[in-house]
Amino acid sequence: MTPQLMEAGVRVRQAMDAKKSDNAGQSGGRQTSYSRVVQPGELDVAHGAILYLDDITVSFDGFKALNALSLNISAGELRCIIGPNGAGKTTMMDVITGKTRPDVGKAFFGSTIDLLRMRENEIASIGIGRKFQKPTVFEHLSVFENLELALKGNRGVQSAMFFRLSGEQLDRIDAMLTLIHLKDSAQRVAGLLSHGQKQWLEIGMLLMQDPKLLLLDEPVAGMTDEETERTAALFLSLEGNHSLVVVEHDMKFIHELTHGNPAKKVTVLHEGSVLAEGSLADVQANEKVVEVYLGR
Ligand SMILES: Nc1ncnc2c1ncn2[C@@H]1O[C@H](COP(=O)(O)OP(=O)(O)OP(=O)(O)O)[C@@H](O)[C@H]1O
Ligand SMILES: [Mg+2]
């Protein structure tokens, strides 16, 4: 096996490992009031929320990166999160994905899955996909191979390489190549793609795993205007079937994602807490928000 494949294997394993640990992270038997009993570890969005953060505080040497943060994301929602540098946006994603443990607070995926009881790899395996700011694709593999590994990842690279793709899986990769505008580059080595194309490939790799919730940290940083517009269109096409939490500084992009729809909520974080929440127009007109942005 080549070093690239080994590297790929480690990453895929880390990201996909714990399909085995079905019973991990259950919330201790909370059930809904509905007649159907929710199995331990099963995502239950019967109450509408796919993500529920309550009173989360994270301290680093006494400094509160998150300070009693509460946030609710509805199933199928596309939520934009803005806020000045250091507001706690990335730390919030670290908490959701199990990278950072809060001092206090609650974090639930659906109404029954307690994220604070789960390990990072378990959280990835239950349908929470995360895109970091810097694209992390396998540079030495082709675009197609990157998507193929993402699809088969939970089997481990070695067996994945010997496992033939079914017609249905080939169709899925083909559809993904079209969705992320990389059909003409399927056989290109990923390292030769533009920065924006690498971002898309990574989003495509996340989508191959069909996550219910996607966390995207500054996904259009470094993209051209055209790439940014295409990314907005892509995210809008995912809304409804997936839930998305998008952190961005690029206000033009936020504008495209909300496209003047007052029903779409934008959350403003500041000093580890929610400063304002509402339509883009409302938060942009909010005096506290204006002060925070002008004051920096
Ligand atoms: N591991 C850490 N140790 C100490 N301080 C940290 C750590 N991680 C984050 N911080 C601090 O917590 C605060 C919030 O950081 P965070 O990265 O979450 O902000 P952000 O909103 O993502 O900012 P940006 O828009 O610049 O990405 C910052 O003051 C940061 O310096
Ligand atoms: Mg950040």
Distance (Å) from CA 95 to ligand 1 centroid: 12
- pLDDT, residue 133, reads 74
For 131-152, write each residue's pLDDT tens digit: 987 778 999 999 999 999 998 7
24 token code pair: 């991990």
Q: What is the pLDDT of residue 157?
A: 54
How many whole angstroms from its chain centre is CA 42?
19
* Residue percentage of the chain with pLDDT more than 70: 81
Nearest ligand to residue 269 Cα:
1
The predicted structure's pLDDT at residue 13? 43
Single-letter amino acid, residue 283 = V
What pLDDT is attached to residue 159?
56
Residues composing the chain: 296
As a whole number, mean pLDDT of residues 170-197 equals 95
- Coil, strand, or helix at residue 123? helix
Kindly report the pTM of this predicted structure.
0.84
Residue 21 — very low, low, confident or very high, per pLDDT cuts 50/70/90? very low
- Nearest ligand for residue 61 CA: 1
Residue of 237 and 11 predicted with greater confidence: 237
Judge whether residue 31 has pLDDT over 60: no
CA of 212 to the centre of ligand 1 (A): 26
Nearest to 254 by CA among 284, 215, 290: 284
pLDDT of residue 248: 95
Model confidence over 206-249: pLDDT tens digits? 999 999 999 999 999 889 999 999 999 999 999 999 999 999 99
CA 219 and chain centroid, separation: 10
Q: How far is the CA of 26 from the centre of ligand 2 (A)?
A: 29
Closest residue to atom 30 of ligand 1, CA basis: 86
C-alpha distances out from residue 293 to 2, 84, 166, 195, 267, Å: 49, 7, 52, 28, 14
**pLDDT above 60 for 266:** yes
Question: In the structure, which protein residues have their CB atom closer than 6 angstroms to any atom of ligand 1?
Answer: 60, 65, 83, 85-91
Ligand 2 centroid vs 267 CA: distance in angstroms? 15
Backbone φ and ψ for 36, nearest 5 degrees, come out as -75, 130
Q: 59-68, 87-96, 158-167, 202-211: which has the minimum mean pLDDT?
A: 158-167
Rounded distance, CA 174 to CA 152, Å? Answer: 15
The encoded tokens of residue 46 equal 């019967």
Answer whether residue 117 shows pLDDT above 50.
yes
* Whether the predicted pLDDT of 160 surpasses 60: no
